[in-house]
């Protein structure tokens, strides 16, 4: 039985049921096949998605904008300079206004609370395109990419090497919901948020998944099916770059680290990559990398989300 997701917000993977995640992944597969066969499918004809960007983007903007076009709708780009959001107009009033014009809102911003507030006061679905706390659309695309390569998600081990940031948080939620064993490996002081860890472990008790926090990359990747990494200094942390280079110097995903994982391990990165820092050229361009498959799948999975909720 298909799950009805019309009108639902996508703020966090923690808010989704396993059935809803599977619905998104199955719909993404269908839409990807239709796209590859050049079959037109326009379930959002006549609908408009407002895209609020307070953080710049390559993949998020292009995938949502192209995806909306392919679904028959229109995507309206709204930069920080185009709106009065938090510059004299409250988030609540912005939500009330945009809801009168749009059929859905996607927002990519710094403060997670802004997305929560936007969803509370909006009468149309709100999609979290990224906050400093979470990146659910990326991880749904990651789950889809892993499933394409491994056929099943349950029981797989994913080792994330790097900062305990929004990517780590959403990978914990996504893995826990789908029965995957997730290891987050970060240097001291850069571990994931304790409340996210608690909630993801609560989700994991229902699916047989495990969530572990380690600080040794070699230990983390042993028996790993997937190794995942991200930049060491995220957008807004540029002033910490040099300090972080020192803190994370032993956390690079390179050929030597891969030797400690399974022979058929997959390597993932949400991009953009700082080549030579968190990952080497030989790995990101190597035979185990599915990094650019991930990037492509943002299009198909976000199309599925929009088609389901709008």
The three-class DSSP label of residue 269 is strand
Note whether 25 and 143 are within 8 A (CB). Answer: yes
Note whether 196 and 172 are within 8 A (CB). Answer: yes
**Active-site annotation holds for 270:** yes
Strands ordered across the beta sheet of 181-185: 210-214, 181-185, 157-161, 226-229, 266-269
Burial of 74 by CB count in 10 Å (0-12 exposed, 13-18 middle, 19+ buried)? middle
Catalytic residue, chosen from 54, 138, 294, 302, is: 138
**Active-site annotation holds for 230:** yes
**Active-site annotation holds for 100:** no
Catalytic residue, chosen from 14, 112, 135, 300, is: 135
User: What whole-number distance in Å separates Cα of residue 126 and Cα of residue 43?
Assistant: 18
Note whether 258 and 267 are within 8 A (CB). Answer: yes
Question: What are the residues whose beta carbons fall under 8 Å from the beta carbon of 276, sequence distance 6 or more?
Answer: none
| Cis omega (within 30 of 0) for bond into 242 | no
**Active-site annotation holds for 135:** yes
Residues belonging to the chain:
310
**Active-site annotation holds for 138:** yes
Q: Indicate the helix (H) or strand (E) that contains 214.
A: strand 210-214
- Please name which of 64, 71, 113 lies closest in space to residue 92, comparing C-alpha atoms: 113
Catalytic residue, chosen from 114, 117, 163, 230, is: 230
Question: Angle at Cα 99 formed by Cα 94 and Cα 105, nearest 5°?
Answer: 85
- Please name which of 14, 8, 272, 250 lies closest in space to residue 133, comparing C-alpha atoms: 14
**Active-site annotation holds for 252:** no
Catalytic residue, chosen from 103, 269, 270, 300, is: 270
Catalytic residue, chosen from 59, 108, 169, 181, is: 108
Catalytic residue, chosen from 59, 112, 269, 298, is: 298
Active site residues: 108, 135, 138, 230, 270, 298
């Amino acid at each position: 039985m298909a799950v009805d997701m019309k009108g639902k917000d996508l703020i966090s993977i923690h808010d989704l049921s396993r059935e809803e995640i599977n619905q998104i992944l199955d719909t993404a597969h269908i839409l990807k096949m239709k796209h590859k066969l050049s079959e037109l499918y326009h379930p959002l004809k006549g609908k408009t998605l407002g895209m609020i960007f307070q953080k710049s983007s390559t993949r998020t903007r292009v995938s949502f904008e192209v995806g909306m076009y392919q679904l028959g709708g229109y995507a309206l780009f709204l930069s920080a300079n185009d709106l009065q959001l938090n510059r004299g107009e409250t988030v609540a009033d912005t939500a009330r206004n945009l809801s009168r014009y749009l059929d859905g809102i996607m927002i990519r911003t710094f403060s997670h609370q802004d997305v929560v507030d936007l969803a509370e006061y909006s009468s149309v679905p709100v999609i979290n395109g990224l906050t400093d706390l979470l990146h659910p659309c990326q991880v749904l695309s990651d789950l889809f990419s892993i499933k394409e390569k491994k056929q099943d998600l349950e029981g797989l081990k994913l080792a994330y090497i790097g900062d305990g940031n929004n990517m780590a948080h959403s990978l914990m939620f996504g893995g826990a919901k789908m029965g995957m064993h997730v290891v987050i490996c970060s240097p001291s002081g850069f571990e994931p948020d304790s409340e996210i860890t608690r909630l993801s472990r609560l989700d994991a008790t229902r699916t047989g998944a495990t969530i572990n926090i380690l600080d040794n990359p070699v230990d983390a990747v042993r028996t790993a099916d997937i190794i995942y990494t991200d930049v060491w200094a995220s957008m807004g942390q540029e002033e910490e770059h040099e300090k972080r280079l020192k803190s994370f110097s032993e956390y690079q995903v390179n050929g030597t680290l891969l030797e400690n994982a399974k022979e058929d391990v997959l390597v993932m990165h949400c991009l953009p990559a700082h080549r030579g820092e968190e990952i080497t050229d030989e790995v990101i361009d190597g035979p185990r990398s599915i990094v650019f498959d991930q990037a492509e799948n943002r299009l198909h999975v976000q199309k599925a989300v929009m088609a389901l909720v709008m």
